[in-house]
Amino acid sequence: MTFLAVFLSALLSVVPSVRAEGTISAVSFLPVPVGSMILVRPLDNSDSNLILQKNFERALKSKGYTVGKDATLILTFETRDDSGAWAGGGENRFLELSNNSDQSGINAPRVRLNLFNSRRGGLLNPDRRDVTRTVTPSSFRIDVSIDDKSNGKRMWQGWSSASARVSGNRETSRKMIPVLVDGLGQTIRRKTFSLIQ
């Protein structure tokens, strides 16, 4: 039992922890008065964005805003999944296949298994320089803007993003929306918030 506990603690110390937080940034051009009537409009009316539209409307109502189709203020939002980038990996050096151009059957294809190689590593001594590593993680982002349709002026613009490893996009966006609504009318410079509730 003690060996198992030591093994698990050693394993957990090697595994990188996933930070369950998002970031928000925003720019305020004009104040957005509390109690204003706002129309929520997704740029893409996919099923998932229509669910987010309802989440935005609920969050706005809970903060004292009115939601209606006759509103002068238009809240427009867009969601994006950004794929991450990876580096490294290199060629597979553990197994090498070769074939002879003479197909008469005298020289058969060869398979070579690399068990140990002091220069480039093998199964028994892997070269850690070739391990694939994440350069930028995948992320989920929501961009929001509020425009006044009576004069065409932009009043506020904000965006929030979180690592896609934290949880599914639907759960992540559900936690990002109240933070975006809390920031309406404010200028925010890369503020972090927890995605654990």
H/E run at residue 173 = helix 169-182
Q: Which two tokens stand for residue 192?
A: 């972090």
3-class DSSP state of 68: coil
Sign of the CA dihedral with 79 first, then 59, 184, and 153 last = positive
Cβ atoms of 37 and 53 closer than 8 Å: no
pTM of the full structure: 0.63
Domain ranges (residues) in the chain = 17-86+139-194, 89-131
Residue 131 has pLDDT above 70, yes or no: no
Q: CA torsion 54→56→138→17, rounded to 10°?
A: -110
The percent of residues above 70 in pLDDT, for the chain, comes to 58
Residue 186 has pLDDT above 80, yes or no: yes
Which has the closest alpha carbon to 36: 71, 77, 79, 84? 71
* pLDDT at residue number 26: 96
Query: Distance between CA 83 and CA 89 in Å, rounded?
Result: 18
Model confidence band, residue 6 (pLDDT cutoffs 50, 70, 90): very low
Count CA within 13 A, CB hemisphere, residue 89: 7
* pLDDT at residue number 171: 74
* pLDDT at residue number 21: 84
Cβ atoms of 47 and 193 closer than 8 Å: no
3-class DSSP state of 121: coil
CB atoms within 10 A of CB 117: 15
| Overall CATH class of domain 17-86+139-194 | alpha beta
Rounded mean pLDDT, 83-100: 59
* pLDDT at residue number 172: 76
Query: Distance between CA 159 and CA 79 in Å, rounded?
Result: 10
Task: List beta partners, residue 146.
Answer: 75, 156
